[in-house]
Structure 1
Amino acid sequence: MKTQSLHNQLVEWRHDLHMHPQLSFEEEYAAAKVSTLLKEFGIEVHSGIARTGVVGILKKGNSSKSIGIRADMDALPIHETNKFSYKSKFDNRMHACGHDGHTTMLLGAAKYLSEKGNFNGTVYFIFQPDEENTFGARTMIDEGLFDKFNIDEVYAMHNIPNMEIGTFGTRNGAITASENLFEIEIKTKGGHAALPHMGVDAITVGSQIAVALQSIVSRKLNPADNGIVSITEFITDGKKNVLPGMVKMTGDARALSKETNEKIASKMLQIVEGICNAHGVNGSVKYETACPVTFNSKNQTESATKAAVSLLGSDKCNGNIEPRLFSEDFSVMANEKPGCFVLMGNGTSEQHSRPLHADNYDFNDELLVIGSSYWTELVEQQLK
């Protein structure tokens, strides 16, 4: 593979980033490292976009064609339990989603392309803050990412645990779900636990709503339309001998289409209003989309798959992979420019099949050469 000679350096960079995780919009260490290395490669650097975002520009030849490749840099507020030498140096800060690896792969591609790249056009290396809270891409765009830089198309990658190393997947259309946050609040006349008939038990009302919400996916959606409704918090103001007068439920809904999302929101409101009316209490629903569906463009999906087949072979590539119900704020970039989000296997060993966001997750160093070589393959293919 094209970046094989960079393997040791890539591992060193990745381990250093893993030891110095920082949260969303606080990625000063990664941003400084990225900027320093890009300058060493002779790449034009623009920093401070969305606080810690960095864009590197590499132009060769005289073509006006361009491509943007995005890597995320932020870590998570998780305490790492791994014991290896490069574990996080900070309590409750961890690269538990592989963004250290994503950043390193793009750095490897930048180094190779600056030294040996055979292309005609401009490459924009986009190092993005805050993917986890889903504001990073939008903030970079709001601060001029696509106004200042003439980017024709955009691509991004994510590692997938328990997917064979050296395998690739993408699909045309929806590849990752929207994330939709909801808050349900019920207000009742509370009372003494020994006199339930003199009040209305908000927990009983809330519990009925919590159970009924699960019928949205199982009975209100077409089984072919993927959706999830999860209540993640159930909060009351009660005490052991007091019936609470308030229940607040918060949660997360996922959908792969605007239509499915609208149906979930509509049915949720119907359920809350219906059950609250039956008990004679007040209920409210707040429902907002935090991150839209990631839609891959047809031409870019074909190009991304073609590059993967060239690098890995057709038997290792799936151009019509099943969509995933996690969310990804690259979706915002792909709504602005033709784009494609691709998946690469992190491996199936015990260490590398641990789920994303687990406190013992680790990015697979074997993927560093594969991913960086993939980006070089894609750039040289698209900018012939």
Structure 2
Amino acid sequence: MPVKNRFAELLPEITEWRRDLHENPEILFETHRTSALVEEKLKAFGCDEVVTGIGRTGVVGVIRGKTNTSGKVIGLRADMDALPIHEETGLDYASKTPGAMHACGHDGHTAMLLGAAKYLAETRNFDGTAIVIFQPAEEGGGGGREMCEDGMMETFGIQEVYGMHNWPGVPLGQFAIRPGAFFAATDQFEIKVVGRGGHGAKPHQTVDPVVASAHMVSALQSIASRSADPVDEIVVSVTSIESSSKAFNVIPAAVTLRGTIRTMTKAARALAETRLKAIANGAAATFDAEAQIKWLPGYPAMVNSEEQTAFAASVAEKVAGSCEANAPITMGGEDFAYMLEERPGAYILVGNGDSADVHNPNYNFNDEAIPAGCSWWAGIIEERMPAA
């Protein structure tokens, strides 16, 4: 099952959809235009049902095969939202919305799943039901969680679920996947170090939160280097240090640290939270300051199911001729994790070639990846639920 000829025929049309989406990016749950376009096309394709408003602005389409003796129901998910980034590509179809850009390729994901939906609705050469899921707010909003909380899996009887993301650096149209934990949990923290401000020439009359926070930044690195098992993947990054003072001779009353911790297991995640709180409180107390800590839980680790991953890799190998079946772990986050907590499934990467990285103002989804991505999604349905 190589790339399907039908997707080569549909490439100009799908590319047109993708570039329209790129030109009109929408952020988080505000995917009103995008969701309406998806709804319109799914209805035009002849989907058996099209349901909107799941997870606020999510859209779900139902496509029934020629037969349903298997009773299987498989979900395919694409994300729709853009990022709050100002585009710098200079493309003819660059974003028309200042401060918003499809810098992660969700325009490509949506277009590819629409292409697969059109093909599946035309052919229906499978025994079961395909559910196409278009999700808002992947970029930090937890749209996947909200769709699950709205009862999507139960409403449509989804038994397995599959997702895909384009990946710069992977050869164009090739695939990469791994079983087990693939993307990291993405927790955040904010620590306000409260002291007593004063004149920079009289530090003995102050409780200096700058000194306390400097020690805290160094001490937090011991979570990875001394608290966690060396074989566990864990990243601790303090990404912001702010105080209210801009003067050279003023010791501020407070300093705020912000950052992120990335982990791959529930145990490491719990350990990181416990140690961060202990270290922050201890470091602050050492200098007579106070630590006011906010732990902000993010997405859980995204864990691919063993059986479904092997199946997804086999489909990818048939489409592309090969598949990297033990891809490197990424410490980035992905809220498809919520769907994989609800149902077994797998998440795969499709190569975007030698492009700018995602979340970069010069990134652009490579339209030449569309036939491979569409073929993989269609193959998941046709091979997992072969026609009776």
Alignment of 1:211-222 (within 5 A): 211-222=218-229
| TM-score calculated relative to the size of structure 1 | 0.96
- 2:122 aligned residue: 115
Task: State how 1:10-21 maps to structure 2 within 5 Å.
Answer: 10-21=14-25
**How far does residue 273 in structure 1 lie from its aligned partner after superposition?**
2.0
* Coordinate RMSD, CA, aligned: 1.2
Shift of 1:274: 2.0
SS of the residue aligned with 1:46? Answer: strand
8 Å CA contact 1:183, 1:287 repeated in 2: yes
Q: Which amino acid aligns with 2:377?
A: W
- 2-structure distance, mates of 1:109, 1:130: 22
Name the count of aligned residue pairs.
378
Deviations 1:140-178 (A, max 9, x none): 112221121110100101111111112211111101000
Question: Equivalent residue for 1:332?
Answer: 338
| Cross-structure match for 1:68 | 75
SS in 2 for 1:318: coil
Q: Which residue of 2 aligns with 1:198?
A: 205
1:80-136 Cα offsets, whole Å, 9 max, x none, are: 011111100111010000000000110010011111241011000000000001420
The one of 152, 155, 161 aligned to 1:154: 161
Which of 249, 258, 263 in structure 2 is aligned with 1:250? Answer: 258
Q: Is the 8 A contact 1:71 1:127 kept in 2?
A: yes
Q: 1:299 aligns with which of 307, 311, 321?
A: 307
Q: Does 1:45 align with 2:50?
A: yes
The match for 2:231 is 224
Q: Where do residues 276-315 of structure 1 align in structure 2 (5 Å cutoff)?
A: 276-313=284-321
1:259 aligns with 2:267: yes
Take 1:72 and 1:51, find their aligned partners in 2: how far apart are those partners? 14
Indicate if the aligned counterparts of 2:208 and 2:287 stay in contact, CA closer than 8 A.
no
Q: Does structure 1 conserve the Cα–Cα contact (< 8 Å) formed by 2:188 and 2:295?
A: yes
Shift of 1:242: 1.8
CA distance in structure 2 between the aligned counterparts of 1:239 and 1:119, rounded to whole angstroms: 65
Note if contact 1:164-1:347 (Cα within 8 Å) is conserved in structure 2.
yes
* Structure 2: unaligned runs, 5 residues or longer: none
Match of 1:165 in 2: 172
Runs of 4+ in 1 over 3 A off after TM superposition: none
Q: Which moved more, 1:304-313 or 1:331-340?
A: 304-313
Match of 1:372 among 351, 371, 374: 374
* Amino acid corresponding to residue 98 of structure 1 in structure 2: G
Q: CA deviation at 1:355?
A: 1.2
The amino acid across from 1:54 in the alignment is: V
The Cα shift of 1:267 comes to 2.1
- Paired AA for residue 53 in structure 2: G
Separation in 2 of the partners of 1:13 and 1:280?
59
Superposed CA offset, 1:223-270 (max 9, x none): 321111111221212241321111111111100111111222222222
Name the SS for the 1:291 alignment partner.
coil
Which of 5, 18, 22 is the matching residue for 2:26?
22
Distance 2:89 2:124 in 1: 37
Correspondent of 1:210 among 217, 220, 241:
217
Q: In the alignment, which residue of structure 2 is the partner of 1:275?
A: 283
Q: Deviations over 1:172-215 (max 9, x none)?
A: 11010000011111111211112111112111111111122123
Whole-Å separation in 2 of the counterparts to 1:342 and 1:181: 26
Deviations 1:5-37 (A, max 9, x none): 111111111001000001111111111111111
Which whole-Å deviations, capped at 9, do the CAs of 1:303-347 have from their partners, x for residues lacking one?
11111112112xx30122121110000000100011111111110
8 A contact 2:198–2:250 mirrored in 1: yes
Instruction: Give the drift of 1:357.
Output: 0.7
Contact residue 134 and residue 328 of structure 1 kept, 8 A: no
Q: One-letter code of the match for 1:20?
A: N
Q: Partner amino acid for 2:68?
A: N
- CA distance in 2 between counterparts of 1:46 and 1:82 reads 35
Match of 1:383 in 2: 385
Q: What's the % identity of the aligned pairs?
A: 42
The answer on whether the counterparts of 2:126 and 2:381 sit within 8 Å (CA) in structure 1 is yes
Partner of 1:318: 324
Does residue 34 of the first structure (1) align with residue 38 of the second (2)?
yes
